[in-house]
Amino acid sequence: MSMIVGQPLDRKDGKLKVTGAAPYAGEFVVPGLVYGVTIQSTITKGHINNIDTTVAQKLKGVLGVMTYKNAMSLHQPTGSDPSSGKFAEKDLLPLQSERIFYNGQHIAVVIAETFEIAEYAASLIKVDYNEEKSVSDIHDPEAKPYQPQQGLGGTSPQAKRGNTDEVLNNAAVKLEQTYTTPVYHHNPMEPHTTTAFWEDDELTVYDSTQGVFGVQNLLSNVLGIPKNKVRVISPFIGGGFGSKGFTWANAFLAPMAAKFINRPVKITLARSFQMFTCAGRRTTTIQKINLGADSNGKISAGKHETTSETSFVDEFVENAGVATKILYDIPNLDIVQNLVRLNRGTPCPTRAPGEAPGTYAFEVAMDELAEKLNIDPLQLRLINYAEKNPVDGKEFSGKNLKECYEKGAAAIGWKDRSDKPSANKQGRYLTGYGMATATYPANRSKASVRLKLYQEGNAVAACCTQDIGTGTYTVMAQLMADALGLPFEKVEFKLGDSTFPQGPNSGGSQTMATTGPAVRAAALEAKSKAIQLAIADKKSPLYNVEESAIGVENGRLYVINNNAKGETYTQLLSRNKMPLIDVNATTDVTLKDGEKSAAANANAKKEPDNPFAKQDEKMDREKYVFHSFGAHFVKVKVDSLTGMVKVEKIASAMDIGKILNEKTAKSQIMGAAIFGIGMALMEGSVYDPNTGRIVTKDLADYHVPVHADMPEFDVQFTDKPDYNISLVGARGAGEIGITGITAAIANAVYNATGKRVRELPITPDKLI
């Protein structure tokens, strides 16, 4: 039987995207559509005394100006369930008061017949403020640090094992360094966009979001309307990287404006300034690393203390120490997280939130410790390799990191690396090699799928999840095709619509591991129903044959030991006058033996017993810790005259379970590694210390990697299924690729130049 899963098939949605036929949130044509342009505050803290909209409202084509004085009242969001959505600024519902908490806060919306009229009218509005002293920099003496008790996922960002201080004091070799990362902005290709319209009391929203189901819940909650009266649609998303995992004010302002003027309204955040002020960011981090080891390189103690920022309207924790707990076998370890509140917009998850900046600091510290010990950096990591989870001693559900080290080292030519920095010079160019470990949790949650197997021999499945550019349409179709025994072109996976069964948000690298088992379960159940129908049908060649003896290939059911004996789905369903087989499947995860999650227990009586779904309820967190690992190896070339760094090659080896589509998986790792190039060498937002207003307000000032910056990529996988997480065997690929890569680049730059830069980005002025 041919296996479609694992093949590097082209994307189902590829042609639509390259021809411009894929509809994004801002491209849906709605009759009577008008345009909203938001106005932002120009002060950083205070309140509005008056908004003068007189001139703007007299402009021909202007339909209304919505401010805190006339906007509809909103309800405070409730509930802590991640599937219910997360409003990024829960204490700053849009247009509900005159208070200003940060520079760039939404204070009004102009609605007009055209975007150009709305934009011009917005420039005519005059705002009088009462300005107050703000706290807009993490180094401000007024920025008072505190230790938060809860981070992402509801876990404590503080952790401690052993007696760290005492062991550090007595260590033979010690390292103490501080590493800093700046604010990073997401800048997805598609800006945040919402189109909304009402039909009587029913609301339809086209939104660019990583959580369709969550946005539906939030809109119902905050607008105060029944959930079944809200429909959210998002079939295509032009990137998100975490910023679209939270819901921002535009998602509420568009339906508010549509209700305000009784017309469909579209609001798109401008690339310049708006995308940099009110759509999230990765926070600044200041990370102090302490390590103590014996002369042989065994680390006895470590401390990772991070200070990051949040806003005054919500709490978000960039816990940079989250990966440190699990990276190496360190018996004594303290993770400390400090937080300061600033008058800036709220930070939010950014691809591998916490893990990306955290592995940068810790993996550079490992490199510095290796130099102190005169040990090869790769060997130091092997000396401190964790066979089991250092936190609780549990087995990893699957860990093949040593194989990743071997693959990556061979691909980059690690044996050619000189331990002596700046030893390799070719004319004016210095070359260097660096490496680092990558790691990210393997997450999975509940998903439901409805699948229809049609008489015509094709199948369609649907789930309310999203494809943010990762290949979800394609890989789910591969799972369907294999499980049903249908050709790839005969199956279709639908997503991005809240009328579909509930699926996961696209965050935490969980979409594949969550939706995949439900898709597989639905497909297997549909196939089983067809086989049982054939077995009971006296006119079928498969009458009275054991189900286990029947296979399906290319849409034809047959006896495994007698291929000539069989019939197609079409023949079977046509003869029985059945237009389709319709099934629903829900898969959840096991917390411990015999126990389902609370969500599964609540729905146990509502959902039909599905043996194929039960097979997938195998994520036993009592026995295993679910984590992915990998390694990045990098070669750089540095111009000794200009200080310009060119990443020549990146060799990445990843252990993320079964690879369902090698092409899309490699794209994920490459894209994340490109993120790492930006983090290491060029990206970083700058704020005016006097006003708190962002200075790097567009892509002319905020530099990101472009085609000319691309290195040679060598991406490999262990491709070893992890059936402890599900029978699909796959763990997420979206975020692990950005962990460790920034450190690997920084370590390579040091190996090339002998200059250790601990404050990102590593720009030419720091190397000359």
CA distance 698 to 12: 33
Three-state SS for 551? Answer: strand
- Give the position of tokens 């975020």: 735
Give buried/exposed letters for 669-699 (b at 16+ CB in 10 A, else e).
Answer: bbbbbbbbbbbbbbbbbebeeeebbbebbee
314-324 burial, b at 16+ Cβ within 10 Å, e below that, comes to bbbbbbbbbbb
d(CA 194, CA 269): 9
Alpha-carbon span 555 to 456, nearest angstrom: 10
Residue 654 and residue 715 in contact, taking contact as beta carbons nearer than 8 Å: yes
Taken in order 324, 325, 329, 331, the sign of the CA dihedral is positive
At 89, the amino acid letter reads: E
Identify which of 233, 249, 244 has the alpha carbon closest to the alpha carbon of residue 66: 249
576 exposure class (CB count in 10 Å sphere: 0-12, 13-18, 19+) = middle
278 near 95, Cβ under 8 Å?
Answer: no
For residues 253 and 267, is the Cβ–Cβ distance under 8 A? yes
**The tokens of 569 are what?**
């789905």
User: Which pair of tokens denotes residue 348?
Assistant: 């939010």
Cβ proximity of 709 and 670 under 8 Å: no
Q: Which of 596, 578, 576 is nearest to 588 (CA)?
A: 596
CA distance 462 to 449: 6
Residue type, 283: T
- Candidates 235, 320, 249; CA nearest to 280 is 249
Active site residues: 735
Render 110-160 in DSSP notation, one character per residue.
EEESSHHHHHHHHHT-EEEEEE------TT-TT---B--S--GGG--S-EE
The torsion region of residue 68 among left (phi > 0), alpha (psi -120 to 50) and beta comes to: alpha
* Phi, then psi, of 560 in degrees rounded to 5: -60, -40
Q: What is the amino acid identity at position 547?
A: E
The DSSP annotation for 474-518 comes to HHHHHHHHHHHT--GGGEEEE-SBTTSPB---S-TT-HHHHHHHH
- Is residue 663 classed as helix, strand or coil in its secondary structure? helix
Q: Name every residue whose Cβ is closer than 8 Å to that of residue 66 and which is 6 or more positions away in sequence.
A: 95, 108, 109, 111, 253, 256, 257, 260
Element (H, E) at 403: helix 401-412
177: left (phi over 0), alpha (psi -120 to 50) or beta: beta
3-state secondary structure of 309: strand
**Lookup: tokens for 189:** 């290709």
